[in-house]
Amino acid sequence: MPLTATVFVISNFVPGLVAKFGTRILLIIGCVLVAASFVGFSKLNSTSTYLGDVLFPLLLHSAGIALVFTPGSIVVLDGVDAHDAGVASGVLQISQQIGGAIGIAAIMSIYSANLVPQDFSSGLNAAFLVAAGLSLIAAMVTIFTISGTNLKTSE
């Protein structure tokens, strides 16, 4: 529930943030927040508690994804002719679904490779640190592929 509520609340502010800062900075901040959340999750172990160890990374994660979804959609659809927008949007949705499935499979493989029998949390560190690294790679891709001031609606 905290993830969904946080995404819902923050998403209401994202259009105004895009208008003020553009998509690039929001995508970078979002990716960094997601990476930070994965670093937090990597510290989970058999003695972790929800309030002490899960809630803060979960809130970071939800804030990060809220800052990525809308600006990411804007970047993908920017410059697409109106008659092609449905197809472009569909390709975006498909790529998100397939990318998510492949990402989860890869991270679960890392988790499984680092799992110690009888210790469910033993593979979490490596898996979440790799996920954090992938999120930072996404931030780097944004830095090097999206112009610094693109898509401010005030331009």
Per-residue tokens: 137 = 């790679």
Per-residue tokens: 78 = 């920017």
Question: Taking the domain 2-145, which CATH number applies?
Answer: 1.20.1250.20
pLDDT digits (tens), the chain, 155 positions: 899 999 999 999 999 999 999 999 999 999 999 999 999 999 998 899 999 899 999 999 999 999 999 999 999 898 899 999 999 999 999 999 999 999 999 999 999 999 998 888 889 999 999 999 999 999 999 999 987 555 554 44
Q: What pLDDT sits at residue 155?
A: 45
Tokens 């005030």 found at: 154
Give the Cα separation of 1 and 153 in Å (integer). Answer: 32
Mention every residue, 6+ apart, whose C-beta is less than 8 A from residue 110: 123, 126, 127, 130
Q: 116 φ, ψ to 5°? A: -100, 130
Q: What pLDDT sits at residue 5?
A: 95
Q: What pLDDT sits at residue 154?
A: 44
